[in-house]
Structure 1
Amino acid sequence: MDALVLLGSFVTLMIIGMPVAYALGLSALIGAWWIELPYDAVMIAIAGGVNKFSLLAIPFFVLAGAIMAEGGMSRRLVAFAEVLVGFVQGGLSLVNILASTFFGAISGSSMADTASIGSVLIPEMEKKGYPRDFATAVTVSGSVQAILIPPSHNAVIYSLAAGGSVSIAALFLAGVLPGLLLGLTLAIMCLFIAKKRNFPKGRSIPMKEALRICVDALWGLMTMVIILGGILSGIFTATESAAIAVIWAFFVTMFIYRDYQWRELPKLVHRTVKTLAIVMILIGFAASFGYIMTLMQIPTMITGLFTSVSDNKYTVLLMINILLLILGTLMDMAPLILIMTPILLPIVKTLGVDPVHFGMIMMVNLGMGLITPPVGGVLFVGAAVAKLPIEKVVKALIPFFGALLFVLAAVTYIPALSLWLPGLLLK
């Protein structure tokens, strides 16, 4: 009955249209009332949820990504990707995917990736003879790389939801190979489609111009080196690397590229703070919701439910994948990580699944949810940038879903994809 009151109130509040964060907080209060827990305990849980040093990584990474996104970095990364792969048949689709790889390693945000890369490449691809819906599908699916490739904001949220027991540095490194595998899979599929549909070849860029483009893009690409290099060398932690990334992004944007106006900077900071306020409210309320779930022993009950169906690790992971794929279409990624990690992580740990590996399984799963209706935030951004109906973009995305499911299966059943790099570099 306890679980029915807590989860039922949450679902009811969601159905009537209450924002997820407030639905979590209010249902936590309802649950506390039901089990006769003092409301003070709920308030303490909310405060404790956001009173964590590691959480500072999120605002710093978001601000660094916003500065680079609006400061001309996306245009330079597109030009750099064109130098590398733009000359083959269907080259602009490869440019799109590779630019998303680079930009994801700077912004850590799929929405920022879709908005910035899409605004540059969707019109350009259409002008060169690619269907607009195909260009949008490439942009949207390619942006899922930003969830996997460091610095991923969602990896920080997963570490928090796991009780801080999972290293952010390990999660960053674990996302590298799955992210690159996703990019490679999408690239191979685009080459096949380009040959089948006879898409045009891109131009070969002269050496002198190519060198200028590479040097120009190098300043922004150094952000990746600063973040990962600093963490792996032990010079600073993941949180400190985020602060350094902000300083570097500000320096490159305002003093090297100089495409951004100083008078626009306060507006950018204001937009970032508004976004972060929503995220922090969500994290605090989710912490209180998780606290009430623990008191009601809901994770233990769900663990028993899964293990009663099967004690085979691969079968349970398949069931979890199906569950997360369904939930990912109905709710945004961050709240799902915060809600489902405390429930599912104990289940997979009893089966011997590494928490870092499971984090990558969740990232790919819920990343697919971001581009799937009816609540696919990245899908909506891509459709808005392309000025296309959602239905047309979804239809074009169908083969890309196949590529994503292949990557999900590989990440789920080949743990080395996630664990080899952290094991090698964080000994």
Structure 2
Amino acid sequence: MTAILFGAFFVLLVIGVPVAFAMAISAALAVYFGSSYPLIVVVKEMFSGLDSFPLMAVPFFVLAAELMTGGAMTHILLRFASQFVGHLRGGLGYANVLSSTMFAGISGSALADAAGPGAMMVRMMEKGGYDRPYAAALTASSAVIGPIIPPSIIMILYAMQVDRVSVGALFMAGIVPGLMMAAMLCAANWYVCRQRGYRSAEPRPSPGEMMRTTLHAIPALMLIVIIIGGIRAGIFTPTEASVVAVFYALVCGMFVYRSLKLRDLPEIVYRAALVSVAVLLILAAARAFAWVLIIQSVPQTLAATIGGWELSPIVFLLAVNLLLLVFGLFMDPLPGVMVLVPILAPIAHSLGIDPVHFAIVVIVNLTLGLITPPVGSLLFVVSSTVKIRVTDLVREMPPFFIAHLVVLALLTFVPALSTWLPRVSGF
């Protein structure tokens, strides 16, 4: 049954079947040809995978991001970020990273970051004298911060798979790693701009202009404070926070900035629904795929095998990093969380690895799969948005990928980078 599952899955991926359909079809083939279970059990498991209250946060956070983009708040955050660094050498690159970091605190999705503020930053950087492939590569790399800084869809899904961590703890744990990733990308941008002679043509704004831009951006920035502060204070759960985010974005767009019209809402809801359905379809298929693995005792067998090797915690973490980096070449992060985390997390716990530390290492590692060919979703989203070839974009990726790997190594060897903030915050 396991051989049918993996064999069918890889064949379907090779011939270009979308990952959600590949997982669902391979699970159905494994059940039909390798067991006595009725096929209806695959459908049952797919529905069970979506029958979860925390999952309601996914479409609401996606809708909040779409409302922010449609309500011109993306432009406001870009201007706010650009005023501090736009006049420096490589300044628009720094503004790209800074705006993605701020938008990460709103959307929870790398793809939303790349398609929203990222696409606008590429156009701004190109006008400022940067090569378009370089601007696109930096945009894709900075969008990876989206799932790390809270709110984060992938963190919500991880907490659903592992009882030892809460969504609130993971949200707090993602702040420091997300800021580290932003800092390392800025360092990579500084190096490349120095090598290529990219200079800024942006004038330095006056103190008065900076004050006006900052005051104008405060309502948009407050959404981040409301989400994190509300969860930390126990005012609402992460799922309820997603609904609050939608209403806040709606109020800001329609009444504060007055750039969001009623006629815009159907198109915004439609785009959010498409993204949400794609995510939820992957999760449903991954649940059926994981169920086949469970009834074949694959997680238990693998855990017993690895446990018998008597690995040290650090060796295990290095092995997990290597496994997930390879996995990310072929799969998106969400199936990775659904399929691999139930197998790996119990092993990590048995070795005494802090569950929050392990969660952040896994999440950061899996999100890097978004910028690794041949399946990296961000590469294709950015290339199609700014109309460049994926191969041109990939050639510019090495400095930024190295920056992300440095952060991953630090998170692996220094657990306090992930665990300190949740502990001092009461999680």
Smaller-chain TM-score bracket: over 0.9
Match of 1:264 in 2: 264
Assess if the C-alpha contact under 8 Å between 1:310 and 1:316 holds in 2.
Answer: no
Assess if the C-alpha contact under 8 Å between 1:122 and 1:132 holds in 2.
Answer: yes
Equivalent residue letter for 2:21: Y
Match of 2:379 in 1: 379
1:224 counterpart = 2:224: yes
> What pairs with 1:13-412 in structure 2 (closer than 5 Å)?
13-33=12-32, 34-162=34-162, 164-201=163-200, 202-309=202-309, 311-412=311-412
Question: Aligned equivalents of 1:299 and 1:14: distance in 2?
Answer: 23
Q: Alpha carbon RMSD of aligned pairs, Å? A: 1.8
Q: Secondary structure at the match of 1:260?
A: coil
Question: Aligned equivalents of 1:88 and 1:13: distance in 2?
Answer: 48
Question: Aligned equivalents of 1:228 and 1:283: distance in 2?
Answer: 25
Assess if the C-alpha contact under 8 Å between 1:69 and 1:112 holds in 2.
Answer: no
Identity of counterpart residues, as a percentage?
Answer: 38
Q: Secondary structure at the match of 2:419?
A: helix
Q: Flag the 1:135–1:15 CA change in 2: closer, same or farther, 3 A.
A: closer
Unaligned runs of 5+ in 2: none
TM-score with structure 1 setting the length: 0.94
TM-score with structure 2 setting the length: 0.94
Question: Aligned equivalents of 1:106 and 1:95: distance in 2?
Answer: 17
How many residues were matched structurally?
Answer: 425
| Structure 1 stretch displaced more, 267-276 or 196-205 | 196-205
Q: Which runs of 4+ in 1 moved over 6 A?
A: none
The alpha carbon displacement at 1:67 in A equals 0.7
The alpha carbon displacement at 1:74 in A equals 1.6
Deviations 1:29-71 (A, max 9, x none): 3333423234454444333221111111111111101110222
The alpha carbon displacement at 1:308 in A equals 4.7
The alpha carbon displacement at 1:98 in A equals 0.5
Question: Aligned equivalents of 1:310 and 1:389: distance in 2?
Answer: 46
Equivalent residue letter for 1:6: L
The alpha carbon displacement at 1:114 in A equals 1.4
Assess if the C-alpha contact under 8 Å between 2:23 and 2:286 holds in 1.
Answer: yes
Question: Aligned equivalents of 1:261 and 1:249: distance in 2?
Answer: 13
The alpha carbon displacement at 1:377 in A equals 1.0
Question: Aligned equivalents of 1:12 and 1:93: distance in 2?
Answer: 40
Assess if the C-alpha contact under 8 Å between 1:85 and 1:95 holds in 2.
Answer: yes
Q: Secondary structure at the match of 2:146?
A: helix
| Structure 1 stretch displaced more, 231-240 or 80-89 | 80-89
Deviations 1:233-270 (A, max 9, x none): 11111111111010000110111222233212112112
Question: Aligned equivalents of 1:28 and 1:17: distance in 2?
Answer: 17
Question: Aligned equivalents of 1:67 and 1:56: distance in 2?
Answer: 17
Question: Aligned equivalents of 1:84 and 1:50: distance in 2?
Answer: 43
Equivalent residue letter for 1:231: I
Match of 1:414 in 2: 414
Q: Secondary structure at the match of 1:145?
A: coil
Unaligned runs of 5+ in 1: none
The alpha carbon displacement at 1:207 in A equals 1.6
Equivalent residue letter for 1:348: A
Equivalent residue letter for 1:136: A
